Chain A
């Protein structure tokens, strides 16, 4: 996010050219106008709207006439026993997803890299990242169908081994695992391709040298492929830090039900229910604001670390 050093050079221009540039530059500013207007209203507008977290917001009074209550909403939310459960659910589900989401694609990429047959390699890749492009509504519909304890094919299959039907989506001890498993299932193929792209950039002569020295495939994977992928692994790991409070809003909203609120309610679904279903606007906004503040710190930290350790810059 630092400026490129081209600035100094560009500003020294001959007078006639500068005039040309200036008239030109007006076009540039003009181009930005529509985008700025939209962002101003729909991104910055809501940021101003967060003041409602400090009000007893009533729609009839609006932001200007609603009563200011200071930190009362925060105090109220923190006093709810649900809040701590929800924070815990969010962080634990998100952390499990992050770990699984780092390891599964890495292992898959290493295994695919060992495949000699090109068509097989390409076929597997093409299939495993398909779920990434489908929405959680579609995958949720599919999962609800196949995981159903009464007629779902998964429980039918497990039944062959004498396993009692498992309520994957209705049992608090299974629900978080189902979330983590299905999320990993949806996304591992996509990340695998990122890792494979990193493997391709490794200098092939390293492998030749290693095999001349008598290193087997396993040693080559350990001493060449893995270290070669390290920058990408570090990058993915540091960037995922920004997601510690994102346990998967859309996924949870599709898959959960009141039976599993204890184990599956996360900050985002909590805010949704409190704000838009129970109409406790100010309390919901307070939770949302709290999440946004922590997320800001987490994302900034993760970008900083990614820059520090992997020289990653978003632009």
Chain B
């Protein structure tokens, strides 16, 4: 009976503790959301916790009339669409040959090392910047896409998945006279939907969330994707010079509610794909542990 009691105490404590932990992860985001919908006076007086005080959408209206915000949002979407397409096409095209045995793809070992070395050794920021500059990509959206166009880690995930597919399917197709392109497009890709969906989702999030490359490769802030623009807004705010017009608007919308609104808007797409992400997430982990 004694033991049972201490067990019960533990269970109660455990639920409380884990509940608090979950709150700790959620609270800062909910607080930001509440702030973004609050009147600026209430926000500046520190009266907002998890619920908007004097509900208003002024901060959002301001964000949506800010041309820089809209432009950056557009750039981010363009980046995700182009970047994910390029990443996925190249991931598939590299993973398929490398999933073959060395006897089928001559020089497979050399090819594999060629790609894996890039995971082990990175040249560093300055030489990479120089190459992007030398290939004329500065200030172009391709600067955000081409340098990371082959995500080697994803290639390895996918090639491990390809290897786990039954060899017989492929052999039957070859007997019927199919070539590698047909096998890849008609057999491998349809069978790899779960793996492809996982990698695509993670690639979407990665492109959406990237901001540092935007900062360094874009000379003019008009070309910043959303997260790079947000970084200047959040971090370098004190340094930035605002136009008078902007100052006028900002009197109604406090700097804090305005920032909160934009932070939340930038997080929104990730929150929207989150239900799908988490469905594939556990699968993704299992995928990652599959050994060839």
7 smallest CB-CB distances across A and B, nearest first, come from A288-B124, A10-B103, A49-B127, A46-B123, A135-B209, A35-B94, A46-B127
B147 part of interface (Cβ distance < 8 Å): yes
A140 part of interface (Cβ distance < 8 Å): yes
Interface string of B22-38 (1 = CB under 8 A from A): 10111011011001000
Q: Which of B18, B181, B291 contacts A115 (CB 8 A)?
A: B18
Complex CA distance for A306 and B184, rounded to whole angstroms: 32
A3 part of interface (Cβ distance < 8 Å): yes
Q: 20 A–B contact pairs at CB < 8 A? A: A1-B116, A6-B103, A10-B101, A28-B97, A35-B90, A46-B124, A114-B14, A123-B22, A138-B267, A142-B263, A145-B32, A145-B259, A151-B256, A193-B281, A193-B285, A217-B10, A276-B125, A276-B126, A284-B125, A315-B156
Taking CB atoms, residues of chain A closer than 8 Å to B24 are: 185
Q: Which of B105, B259, B263 contacts A25 (CB 8 A)?
A: B105
B280 part of interface (Cβ distance < 8 Å): no
B135 part of interface (Cβ distance < 8 Å): yes
Contact at A156–B46, with CB atoms within 8 Å? yes
Task: Please report which residues of chain B, range 210-232, place their CB below 8 angstroms from some CB of chain A when the two chains form the complex.
Answer: 210-212, 216, 227-228, 230-231
Complex CA distance for A91 and B141, rounded to whole angstroms: 35
Taking CB atoms, residues of chain B closer than 8 Å to A217 are: 7, 10
Q: Which of chain B's residues has its CB closest to A279's CB?
A: B126
Taking CB atoms, residues of chain B closer than 8 Å to A45 are: 127, 131, 134
Complex CA distance for A134 and B26, rounded to whole angstroms: 12
B67 part of interface (Cβ distance < 8 Å): no
Interface string of B97-122 (1 = CB under 8 A from A): 11011111110010110111011111
Given A34-B90, A133-B277, A315-B160, decide whether A296 and B121 contact each other with a Cβ distance below 8 A. yes
Q: Which of A49, A126, A131, A299 contacts B120 (CB 8 A)?
A: A299
Complex CA distance for A265 and B126, rounded to whole angstroms: 18
Contact at A137–B28, with CB atoms within 8 Å? no
B68 part of interface (Cβ distance < 8 Å): no
Task: Please report which residues of chain A, range 269-305, place their CB below 8 angstroms from some CB of chain B when the two chains form the complex.
Answer: 271-272, 275-276, 281, 284-285, 288-289, 291-292, 295-296, 299-300
Taking CB atoms, residues of chain B closer than 8 Å to A213 are: none
Contact at B266–A137, with CB atoms within 8 Å? yes
Contact at A35–B93, with CB atoms within 8 Å? yes
Complex CA distance for A296 and B116, rounded to whole angstroms: 12
Complex CA distance for A42 and B28, rounded to whole angstroms: 38
Complex CA distance for A144 and B235, rounded to whole angstroms: 9
Complex CA distance for A142 and B125, rounded to whole angstroms: 27
Complex CA distance for A48 and B159, rounded to whole angstroms: 28
Interface string of B254-292 (1 = CB under 8 A from A): 001001100100110010001001100110011000011
A103 part of interface (Cβ distance < 8 Å): no
A96 part of interface (Cβ distance < 8 Å): no
Contact at B26–A275, with CB atoms within 8 Å? no
Q: Which of chain A's residues has its CB closest to B180's CB?
A: A27
Taking CB atoms, residues of chain B closer than 8 Å to A38 are: 90, 146, 149-150
Contact at B90–A289, with CB atoms within 8 Å? no
Complex CA distance for A208 and B267, rounded to whole angstroms: 45
B205 part of interface (Cβ distance < 8 Å): yes
Taking CB atoms, residues of chain B closer than 8 Å to A249 are: 212
Minimum CB–CB distance from B32 to chain A (whole Å) comes to 5
Given A7-B101, A120-B15, A127-B26, decide whether A151 and B46 contact each other with a Cβ distance below 8 A. yes
Given A49-B127, A216-B7, A313-B291, decide whether A142 and B116 contact each other with a Cβ distance below 8 A. no
Q: Which of chain B's residues has its CB closest to A43's CB?
A: B118
Taking CB atoms, residues of chain B closer than 8 Å to A8 are: 103
Q: Which of chain B's residues has its CB closest to A272's CB?
A: B125
Complex CA distance for A42 and B123, rounded to whole angstroms: 10
Q: Which of chain B's residues has its CB closest to A63's CB?
A: B130
Q: Which of chain B's residues has its CB closest to A182's CB?
A: B28
B55 part of interface (Cβ distance < 8 Å): no
Q: Which of chain A's residues has its CB closest to B277's CB?
A: A133
Contact at A24–B179, with CB atoms within 8 Å? yes
B3 part of interface (Cβ distance < 8 Å): yes
A100 part of interface (Cβ distance < 8 Å): no
Taking CB atoms, residues of chain A closer than 8 Å to B267 are: 134, 138
Contact at B124–A271, with CB atoms within 8 Å? yes
Task: Please report which residues of chain A, range 176-195, place their CB below 8 angstroms from some CB of chain B when the two chains form the complex.
Answer: 185, 189, 193-194
Taking CB atoms, residues of chain A closer than 8 Å to B147 are: 42
A146 part of interface (Cβ distance < 8 Å): yes
Contact at B126–A193, with CB atoms within 8 Å? no
